Amino acid sequence: MTNSSLISPTAPIGIFDSGVGGLTVARELFKLLPHEDIVYFGDVGRYPYGGRSKEIITQFTRQDIAFLLENDVKFIICACNSASSVALEELQDDYELSIVGVIEPGARAAVERTSNGRVGIIGTHATIGSNAYAGCIHRIDPKIKVFSLACPLFVPLAEEGYIDQEATYLIARDYLQTMHDVEIDALVLGCTHYPLLKNVIAEVMGEKVTLIDSGEETARVALQSLTDAGLLRTTGPDSGMPKGVRKYFVSDVPEKFSKVATRFLGELLDKVTRVDISGY
Ligand code: DGL
């Protein structure tokens, strides 16, 4: 952790993602830390990251972090699995502030919850191609067998609101058949959008498979890290303080983001501001 004596506990937490998907992580954070101020940046103008190269995702990630730092955040969450997988490890040392990604929290939870030592990972092409989840799981427990699979169509389905339509079941059955065949008992939802499809994925995989939501795990890690560093704004959800101020920024016109965000977050956003991310 950073030299936290220089950072104010009243400063906001920064969260960034390639777009709207990171709101599934923000949602989990709001449940645990409702009184924290949040600055959210969604790079909708350059979305999606999941099919891009390491070089480009790393460049975008640097700019996203620079924007949040300019907003004087006390802690940063990289909600995007693709950015966390390919860019974060190498970038983290360049910053004094703590930046957590979603890979390690998801990987740890998978190791803890598998009983048969067979874990599945689903995510974008960038996340799966990076092998970041498998690497992290094997650092914790080399004996675990990891089966990874890119499910890129889940992202537009979630974004377009196809969360329990027949088309979504068809695609899910097709994608996840191989995960059935290898008899995993834990499946990491390694992409911001997949928690929206949890019901479909759970039904297709069956009740013997535990689904692991990396966003949920990351929110817990953020709470723990802030507590350890003495950077929590309040003592807990019942502290009697008002809800934190939540500011949203995007790199293209805010209208589509605002519309889709309501579905991802389960609440209306007060205000979304456009920023020129190319200047960072
Ligand atoms: N946020 C991305 C992720 O979690 C999914 C969308 C994209 O490809 O940018 O990997």
What is residue 266's predicted lDDT score, i.e. its pLDDT? 82
- CA dist 50 and 210 (Å) reads 24
Say what percent of the chain tops pLDDT 90. Answer: 90
Which of 78, 80, 136, 151 is catalytic? The answer is 80
Q: Is CATH 3.40.50.1860 what the domain over 103-214 is classified as, yes or no?
A: yes
* Ligand 1 pocket, residue 18 CB under 6 Å: yes
Q: Tell me the per-residue pLDDT of 102-158, one tens digit each, with 9 for 90 and over.
A: 999 999 999 999 999 999 999 999 999 999 999 999 999 999 999 999 999 999 999
Residues 123/85, Cβ–Cβ less than 8 Å: yes
* pLDDT of 63 strictly over 50: yes
pLDDT digits (tens, 9 = 90+) for 128-141: 999 999 999 999 99
Using an 8 Å Cβ cutoff, are 213 and 198 in contact? yes
Kindly give the distance from the C-alpha atom of residue 190 to the centroid of ligand 1, in angstroms, as a whole number: 9
Mean pLDDT of 154-180: 96
Average pLDDT over residues 81-96: 95
Closest CA to 88 of 135, 152, 121, 23: 135
Length of the chain equals 280
Nearest atom, ligand 1, residue 190 CA: 4
Q: Is 84 in the pocket of ligand 1 (CB under 6 A)?
A: no
Quote the DSSP letter at residue 76: E
Query: Does 189 contact ligand 1 (Cβ within 6 A)?
Result: no
- pLDDT confidence of 268, banded at 50, 70, 90? confident
Question: For ligand 1, atom 7, which residue shows the shortest CA distance?
Answer: 48
DSSP 16: E
Give the 3-state secondary structure percentages of the chain, helix then strand then coil, rounded to 5.
Answer: 50, 15, 35
Domain boundaries, the chain: 4-101+217-279, 103-214
| Selected catalytic residue, list 78, 136, 151, 191 | 191
Which CATH number is associated with domain 4-101+217-279? 3.40.50.1860
Q: Do domains 4-101+217-279 and 103-214 have the same CATH topology?
A: yes
Q: Is the CB of 129 under 6 A from ligand 1?
A: no
